[in-house]
Amino acid sequence: MPNAANSHRPRTRDGAPFDWGGAADRSPPMSRATLQALLDGTSLVVSLSQDDYVRNYGGVQNLIGDERQAFSRRGAQYLHLSPAAPLPVLAEPAEIGRFRFAALLDGKHCGVVLAADLAAVLAALSASGSAIEFVVHHLMGHEPECVAMLLQAAGGVTPTVWVHDFFTICLSYALMRNDVAYCAAPPPDSGACGVCSYGAARGGHSTRVRSFFEATRPVVLAPSQAALDVWLTADLPHATAVVQPLARLVLAPAAGDNAHRAGRRLRVAHLGARVLHKGWYVFEELALRFADDGRYEFLQFGASASVPMPGCIRGVPVQVVPDCRDAMVEALAESGVDAVVAWSLWPETFCFTVHEALASGAFVVTRRDAGNMWPAVAANAPAQGCAVADIEALTALFAGDELVELCRRPRRRGAVLPGGATADRLEAPTGDGAAAKATARGATVRQGLQHV
């Protein structure tokens, strides 16, 4: 059984797992003068995440790329920082000024930066009147004490912190006890934490994260209400916490001619990685159980460099990368997928794959209590999906004829429109123009979908 910490590893563009041990960038850091010369604008956004968003791919990485472009359109420089030595946990506290960041400026690699040099440059920029924004997409691999020091150097700016998962609550970012079952984040000193493999480290992790939130009082953005509800149970100090969706699903005004036709097997798919907390083993068991049922054909869409799968499931390699954001939607539509089983074992904070499945015209079967999965279906296309309570109900759905009948209904196609992430939120107070652009873009897409 895979370890949840391992499953969160970023994947390189060729789909290979990231090697924590060999991933460190040990090149000499750039000089303070060089960094000062690079950061010469009047508006700077400093963004932090767990890895290099250009060299790796995934939902958060694509989102950061969208955010960078949105801020660039506003004339801001975008400095992205990830740990020069990536880790699946917080970096051990050390001499704060010696922490090494791998830096990208406006999407281009510019080398390694020492925290002390960056702090000095940020202090100079702040003193000269430059506008500085801080966006924390993830603290994994970082020293939160170092991040707090940078914020103070920049003039005590209030950061924006995203809830892409629940790493700020526990180092088991999906809140999976022993990587097997969702735990709902009990108190760190609880008996439940005492029997979890993450329990011994959670106390120190939580103390350091809480200290960071107490020192910075951030604005917290969650991709969904479901994610925010879970995060608020941790009672971490913050200025405000709001929902900011990562993308918009726009569906055609009318259903297309994509209903399942009698005489062909119902094509049922799992989207994304073959990992436990994403529901892979439930899907695999479902496929094995109904392998000899002539009504179904099972497929997996996502990275091919992953755990082996049985012969009754056909793999379709797909990578959703910045220059091919519709790759999953197009692959599902081209393969004639009728239904997608979305069975994450943890509360998904947004779930791009559910949005992509709906956009492809597939019927979506979700686990009822899986974060934003069913709410995303219910809010966008309630007739194009169903939520079931447990594995027994899922098995019963496949054993009977209901799923086949549901998939014979005409379904709508659509498109997933990425947003500008934090840039969208910062525009919100005076966002009439941004809202008008988004509405116009949605109308244009709907018009184009009328003939799909």
List, for residues 335-362, the tens digit of each pLDDT value: 999 999 999 999 999 999 999 999 999 9
Q: What confidence score (pLDDT) does residue 21 get?
A: 57
Given this model, what pLDDT does residue 428 score? 58
Long-range contacts of 184-192 (CB under 8 A, 24+ apart): 184/233, 185/230, 185/233, 185/234
Which element (helix H / strand E) includes 396?
helix 391-399
Q: What is the pLDDT of residue 149?
A: 97
Low-confidence ranges of the chain (pLDDT < 70): 1-22, 257-262, 305-306, 427-452
| Residue 334 contacts residue 359 (beta carbons within 8 Å) | no
Given this model, what pLDDT does residue 450 score? Answer: 47
pTM given for the model:
0.89
| Residue 213: per-residue pLDDT | 98
Instruction: Please give the single-letter amino acid code of residue 22.
Output: G
Summarize pLDDT for 383-406 with one digit per residue, the tens. Answer: 999 999 999 999 999 999 999 999
Q: Check residue 256 and give its pLDDT.
A: 72
CA–CA gap between residue 418 and residue 415 (Å, rounded): 10
Q: Does domain 250-416 have CATH number 3.40.50.2020?
A: no
- The CATH number of 4-246, from 3.40.50, 2.40.50, 1.10.220, 3.30.1380, is 3.40.50
